[in-house]
Amino acid sequence: MVNKVEVDLNAISHNLRVIKKNVDPDSKIIGVVKGNAYGHGLIDTARAIWTSGAEIMAVADLNEAVELRVAKIRVPIIVLGFVESSEFRRLLDFDIAMTVSDLETAHKLSLEAKRMNKWAKIHIKVDTGMTRYGFAAQEAVENYQKIQSLNHIKIEGIYSHFADASDANFSRGQIKEFQNVLFNFQQARIQTPMVHMAATEGLFKYQESHFDAVRCGLGLYGYYGFKQEMNELQSALELKTKIALIKRVSEGQTVGYRRTFTAKRSMKIAVLPIGYADGYPRSLSNVAEVLVDGKRAKVVGRICMNATMVDVTGLKCFQGDEVVLIGHQGSDKVDADEVAKWADTNSHEILSRISPILPREYHFK
């Protein structure tokens, strides 16, 4: 295998222990495995998270949820994203909970569940500032009561989501608004189901947002999503390739599409058989660094669909040698946070966009 992803399942288990140490003992762990488990590979990664102690799994869409069920992962599963009404039968057949953010969806789901003589499991979302999915906070109690009155609907949870956990004032405002919603439930004598709000950054920053459960995504894979002095988490994924070709470049010679790099001296260039089709972003052109022979080598020229060129002048390397794009080599490390900074994005995108076609190797001791 020339291009491959290596995943350390021990690191994921370790990260789950760190997360448990930082949340309330009674708070459940919802392992978020959307986006092909943030690029780590859905099934093997989800199974490791489940067996390491996560009580619930969360996915982006129904297809991911069904994949988990087919793989005999029997943990409760929540779909956080949109599910079409034409898919409700499959949702119910596989015993999967879904997010409800509007009354029409709830009505349609109730009718389908009644036809099938099954109970549909749902989590109701409240929008406290994300302005995406969710009922408006001031309408939450009224709509909850309407949904609660429907046939064959079981409300298992109510939740919200931080818009910007790095903004303490705004985030605490969201927490307060969600707490007000829950207080209104008490005033209306409604017994609330499982309450959850915090994702990775929120759970580490705002203990008051832990409630009954926390949704851990990025943290399970070794990243906080913010700068942390004491880094207890371990990154689990490494993206590797091999040198396909080494060639000499003369002073003044250009490299790659649109000739965006011009050699200022005689250079040695390594061609790597990996590019943006494999999930290595084009925005890393002329800025990213990879590890070759335990040392850093800079990307030169535009990253191609299936090729990347790097400057290996002065490095001891040969055709077939391993190159690390994300991960460790020697005493150095390039992590997803650093790659994200070069690409002007976040580590979530860098990890989740790694092509699912690339082979995954799993290590567990």
Which tens digit of pLDDT belongs to each residue from 340-363? 999 999 999 999 999 999 999 999
Q: Please indicate, yes or no, whether residues 40 and 165 belong to a single structural domain of this protein.
A: yes
The rounded mean pLDDT for the chain is: 97
The residue from 188, 221, 254 where one domain ends is 221
Q: Please indicate, yes or no, whether residues 195 and 243 belong to a single structural domain of this protein.
A: no
Residue 231 has pLDDT above 90, yes or no: no
| Euclidean distance between the first and the last CA atom of the chain, given in angstroms as a whole number | 22
Q: Please indicate, yes or no, whether residues 133 and 180 belong to a single structural domain of this protein.
A: yes
Nearest-angstrom CA–CA distance, 170 and 36:
30
Q: Please indicate, yes or no, whether residues 66 and 205 belong to a single structural domain of this protein.
A: yes
Q: Which long-range contacts (CB under 8 A, 24 or more apart) does 134-138 make?
A: 134/101, 134/160, 134/161, 135/101, 135/102, 137/177, 137/178, 137/180, 137/181
Domain around 328: 237-363
Backbone angles phi, psi at 28, to 5 degrees: -80, 155
Q: Please indicate, yes or no, whether residues 200 and 98 belong to a single structural domain of this protein.
A: yes
Q: Please indicate, yes or no, whether residues 212 and 282 belong to a single structural domain of this protein.
A: no
Asked if residue 4 is part of any domain, the answer here is no
**Block residue for tokens 């002065």:** 314
Could you tell me which residues are beta bridge partners of residue 99?
Answer: 123
Q: Please indicate, yes or no, whether residues 267 and 206 belong to a single structural domain of this protein.
A: no
**Block residue for tokens 């009224």:** 142
pLDDT in tens, 61-73: 999 999 999 999 9
Q: What is the domain count for the chain?
A: 2
Residue type, 161: H
Indicate if 268 belongs to the active site.
Answer: no
User: For residues 196, 202, 206 and 209, what is the CA-based torsion angle, rounded to 10 degrees?
Assistant: -10
Q: Please indicate, yes or no, whether residues 51 and 85 belong to a single structural domain of this protein.
A: yes
Question: Binning pLDDT at 50, 70 and 90, where does residue 230 land?
Answer: confident
What CATH number does residue 273 fall under?
A: 2.40.37.10
Token pair recorded at residue 279: 């999930």
Q: Please indicate, yes or no, whether residues 32 and 160 belong to a single structural domain of this protein.
A: yes
What CATH number does residue 138 fall under?
A: 3.20.20.10
> How many other C-beta atoms are found inside a 10 Å radius of the C-beta of residue 156?
14
Question: Binning pLDDT at 50, 70 and 90, where does residue 1 land?
Answer: confident
Nearest-angstrom CA–CA distance, 269 and 267:
6
298: Cβ–Cβ under 8 A, 6 or more apart, which residues?
A: 286, 287, 288, 289, 310, 311
Q: Quick one: average pLDDT of 98-123?
A: 98
> How many other C-beta atoms are found inside a 10 Å radius of the C-beta of residue 37?
30
Residue 77 has pLDDT above 90, yes or no: yes
Edge to edge, what strands does the sheet with 308-311 contain? 245-249, 267-272, 308-311
Q: Please indicate, yes or no, whether residues 70 and 180 belong to a single structural domain of this protein.
A: yes
Residue 182 has pLDDT above 80, yes or no: yes
Asked if residue 147 is part of any domain, the answer here is yes
Question: What would you measure as the largest C-alpha separation in the chain, in angstroms?
Answer: 78
> How many other C-beta atoms are found inside a 10 Å radius of the C-beta of residue 166?
12
From the list 28, 34, 125, 240, the catalytic residue is: 34
pLDDT in tens, 269-308: 999 999 999 999 999 999 999 999 999 999 999 999 999 9
Asked if residue 1 is part of any domain, the answer here is no
Asked if residue 228 is part of any domain, the answer here is no
Residue 195 has pLDDT above 90, yes or no: yes
Question: Binning pLDDT at 50, 70 and 90, where does residue 24 land?
Answer: confident
The strand ranges marked E within 221-359 are 237-242, 245-249, 254-255, 261-262, 267-272, 289-292, 295-298, 308-311, 322-329, 332-334
The residue from 193, 221, 249 where one domain ends is 221
Which helix H or strand E contains 126, and what residues bound it? strand 120-127
Asked if residue 72 is part of any domain, the answer here is yes
Asked if residue 229 is part of any domain, the answer here is no
**Block residue for tokens 């999967």:** 96
Q: Radius of gyration over alpha carbons of the chain, in Å?
A: 23
Nearest-angstrom CA–CA distance, 249 and 227:
39
Q: Please indicate, yes or no, whether residues 209 and 253 belong to a single structural domain of this protein.
A: no
Residue 227 has pLDDT above 90, yes or no: no
Asked if residue 3 is part of any domain, the answer here is no
For the whole model, what pTM was predicted?
Answer: 0.96
From the list 146, 247, 257, 316, the catalytic residue is: 257
The residue from 221, 250, 285 where one domain ends is 221
Asked if residue 227 is part of any domain, the answer here is no
In this structure, of 80-89, 158-167, 219-228, 238-247, the range with the lowest mean pLDDT score is 219-228
pLDDT at 221: 98
Indicate if 34 belongs to the active site.
Answer: yes
pLDDT at 228: 79
Alpha helices in the chain (DSSP H): 9-21, 34-38, 42-51, 62-70, 88-93, 103-116, 140-148, 168-187, 200-205, 336-343, 347-352
Share of the chain above pLDDT 90, in %: 97
Q: Please indicate, yes or no, whether residues 53 and 96 belong to a single structural domain of this protein.
A: yes
